[in-house]
Amino acid sequence: MHFPEEVYRERVKRFQKLMRESGIDGAIIRALSSYTYFTGTRWLRPALLIPEEGEPVVMVVKNEKEGFLKRSWIKNVVEYKNAEKLMSYVTGWIKKNNYHTVGLEYTVERDSFMLFLAVFQRLNPKVVIKDIHSIIMEMRKIKDKWELKAIERAGEIAATGREVAKEVVKEGKTELEIAAAIIHELMLEGSEAPQVYVSAIPRIHAEPMRDIYVEEGQIVSVVIGADYNDYYVNTSRSFPIGKVSEKARRALYAMEEAFDYALDETKPGKKFIHIEKEIEKIYENHQMSEFYIKGYTHGVGLLIEEDPITTIVVQHRFQEIKEGMVLAMVHAPLILPEGVVKKECTVIVEGDGVRIVT
């Protein structure tokens, strides 16, 4: 548990209030990041039950209880030996409390199982299921001082990874070799679950491959996600290898201009869409429109990419920028035949602008 107990208790109380307002009797949390948000620890095979009033219950595999208790404020912990016992307890919890409407988070994330949903529906055919993803993400969108402190430290760690990237991104290196060197440094600095993407050919957010080599004339993109106390920052840089084409050079200049514009104009009260449209004009002026992927920013926190996700969810582009948001920008790359042109930093929205933490 990285923050004071009252931080997590307050989160649960706020969530319970929102559940009551939405007519939800209890919630089952299986998404790892939301589980971490409420329990204070990242624990695989997450199973957290939050009633609309009262203490939450955590379920862990037999013999995990003692280890979990040392890392969380929640003391109501139930052990299970197999999936049947887990589902039996969840079903019993619902029936015992006479719950009619239960919240589940519909999201794509590690250990967030759609299979669980199918089994749950079969065992509880009369229970109404409500998606609680938007409720939880709205809570997580604005960071408190504890979260910001963790994010700032993650920014320092990410900077060490970027320095390694400057040294290892060279002709003849494989994507995997580059990623391995960066991840090694990030972990030594305290990042427990770093994410590093290396693109030596045109690919977005590419898992590094052992048979793709850096070659002369390419642009290599490196994306670094470093975490500290479970909170991430996201930073990216592009490395021209030797002599690159005139078009690639223009793309690099265009990206710098878009990056500077985003830093200057991302302010509380504005909407993402207005900045997005101006960035599109910048790329038009540089004749780069055909290479542009829309969505200039996304949120960062317990996930390297979380709400607001203007890169994926079109509706999020119309949201208002608010103080306390943590954003990665400029996220959207220019994808050229020579490779991916990208420059990205994590910023905190505060005052009348943003502060860079990477």
Report the distance separating Cα 249 and Cα 216, nearest Å.
Answer: 14
How far is the C-alpha of 25 from the C-alpha of 287, rounded, in Å?
Answer: 54
CA proximity to 39, closest of 67, 61, 11 = 11
User: Is the CB of residue 12 less than 8 Å from the CB of residue 83?
Assistant: no
355: Cβ–Cβ under 8 A, 6 or more apart, which residues?
A: 347, 348
The residue assigned the tokens 């939800």 is 24
Render pLDDT for 149-200 as a digit per residue (tens, 0 to 9): 999 999 999 999 999 999 999 999 999 999 999 999 999 999 999 999 999 9
132 touches 104 (CB < 8 A): yes
Task: Give SS3 for 307.
Answer: strand
Calculate the CA 49 to chain-centre distance: 23
- CATH code assigned to 5-140: 3.40.350.10
- Residue ranges for the chain with pLDDT beneath 50: none
Q: Which two tokens stand for residue 183?
A: 């991840």
Q: Where are the domains of the chain?
A: 5-140, 142-356
- Only one residue has tokens 């049947």, namely 84
Asked if residue 71 lies in contact with residue 63, where contact means CB atoms within 8 angstroms, the answer is: no
d(CA 227, CA 208) in angstroms, rounded, equals 19
What is the structure's pLDDT at 276?
95
* One CATH from 3.40.50.300, 3.30.360.10, 3.90.230.10, 1.10.3210.10 for 142-356: 3.90.230.10
pLDDT computed for residue 111 by the predictor: 64
Q: Where are the alpha helices (DSSP H) in the chain?
A: 5-21, 32-39, 65-69, 83-96, 114-123, 133-141, 145-168, 175-188, 246-265, 272-285
Do 158 and 235 meet the contact criterion of CB atoms below 8 Å apart? Answer: yes
Q: For residues 322 and 267, what is the distance between their CA atoms, to the nearest angstrom?
A: 8
Give the pLDDT score at 16: 98
Residues 6+ apart with CB under 8 A from 246: none
- C-beta contacts of 347-353 below 8 A and 24+ residues apart: 347/263, 347/266, 348/143, 348/148, 348/151, 348/324, 349/266, 349/267, 349/268, 349/321, 349/322, 349/323, 349/324, 349/325, 350/323, 350/324, 351/323, 352/267, 352/268, 353/263, 353/264, 353/266, 353/267
| pLDDT for the residue numbered 113 | 66
Q: Which residues of 194-212 are buried (b: 16+ CB within 10 A; e: fewer)?
A: bbbbbbbbbbbbbebbeeb
**Residue 180: its pLDDT value, please?**
98
| Ramachandran category for residue 347: left, alpha or beta (phi over 0 → left; psi -120 to 50 → alpha) | beta
